[in-house]
Structure 1
């Protein structure tokens, strides 16, 4: 969506058109593409909320939003807020094994959850550019002691996987761990689950991508021939989860696919025709607000609308996407270790609202999946 787009009233009542295009038909680019940045799973959904703030619709959507009081849980022992006009948002993709995610995420219905995808989004002063730093879930870290939002305390642990922070203490411990690793204050927190992501993509009518190689991963149930595709929700979920079908089979390869998918999604959001159909607009907003969990500062419809409005000037071409500098663990090729010296270049850039230097990621492990997927 462009910064100049003005949503309609967003009241249900108009008939929805077909949600998927005929196979082989491609959308044509229309001038300079403008997108919005919130992260793949929330980018398209949150921006449409501006058209649905009337009567019971407002209260229904507002009631959908789940929030957690991270500031209360973490207290004052945190990095200082930046005063340079920038913002940092920790975005997690959660694969809780409970409820509607059981079938999608696999495993048992035990209510457990992991953060299989983690990204730090840095929005630069002026909100025209952003850097996105992916944190590999398989990174071995020293997890700090933390208190979750229920008030329960969790001991520190050494040499554990990064995503164990979320499993152990939820959102608050995930934020605490990221701030401990980076020394950078997280101003906001956003989380989206598997089922919400899948529904969001289906309601958007799919996402256009091009694959340069065949992808066949039975674990993520994804099988694509090289070429152009419009991915439905199930296929998109398979793409952002696949790791054995591309590159070296590591989590790093999966991250490269996720980053390519985000850019493809952000690039085409404005061309989907959301505002020509009030019912489609409402359905999308309803799904997005049900799928997202936020920090308490963003835990209302008005706050999300204001937040999204401040980001919609960011296009995919102005998003610099990198992976936290890591190398494979010599003792275990299925784990990675943060390259502290190079990673510090990244954290210093975010703190000072500067571009991330190319030297920070030069020579680091990549997963060898670059260029496999691009936006159509």
Structure 2
């Protein structure tokens, strides 16, 4: 077996020349940190991470939503060593192991899980955590042979260190000639409650539209942080979309007076680096608990007592008159921002067109906040169907 990321062809075949996976095999990450085990994908750069001490953001940006290994090979067998970090939340149902989706020529051929690894015990209300170190797992991937383009999508909601990759044939990085789509949003864009990494709605939309996805969906953290806008500004992209609303409401972060100027400032920053790049500003999908009721969101204690995780809106609808945000208010403000800017390369997408109240009757949000895989697929299909930007 040859170590694909660290070997070059010599007179006697493939030989090792390094110690870690070739970073050029990794697509969809903005930064790869070298650890004592291998490479850890990050979706925000070091300088941006240094501007916040929010444990939630640091947790989710290191979960590799949209990150995949992309390679061209004639191998029939690949071994990928990974070190996942599993999360546990006391008092809530256990989380299943993440999935690794293997695609050959764009078609799904295998799904694998990596048991074991590190464990992070997280206190849901405070964000405090305890870390227990574990050991890597080897995933074995069988391939048909012949020259083939292979992608291995990493678990979208499980931090994953890439330790080593070995193959019984030559491996080289797979270039992309597709337009690069940079998307930012909340946990829904991150892929929360989708079972597989290729089932998140941005992954579905990217596949259908023929786009090269960079997913900056950050669970609980689509909060108009300036360092995220600067990250988008500095990242090459052919298309950009930003989905805002639910985190601003369910964290009760802003009032109406602040929202419009904050969104204008965000778009100004992005435009500094992308003066004519098409941008879609997307509002929230339907979420009954926060359509007309402000945040914050809180765990539904009755559901927890039944062994289920669900959420309720804890805000007072009467406070909307004094500026509290609901999803209805945020949609109105976002539409106004787009209209006022008069930017021919900026468009508004109403999230209710991606998933509305009628859809919720057929495909309810299981925990009152996040869509399941079937609903992710619906949202992705509808977004891709919007066509040219």
Same fold (TM over 0.5): no
TM-score, normalization by structure 1? 0.28
Which structure has the highest strand share of the two? 2
Q: Taking structure 2 as the reference length, what is the TM-score of the superposition? A: 0.27
By relative contact order (CA 8 Å, sep 6+), the higher-ranking structure is 1
Higher Rg: 2
Give 1 or 2: higher helix fraction. 1
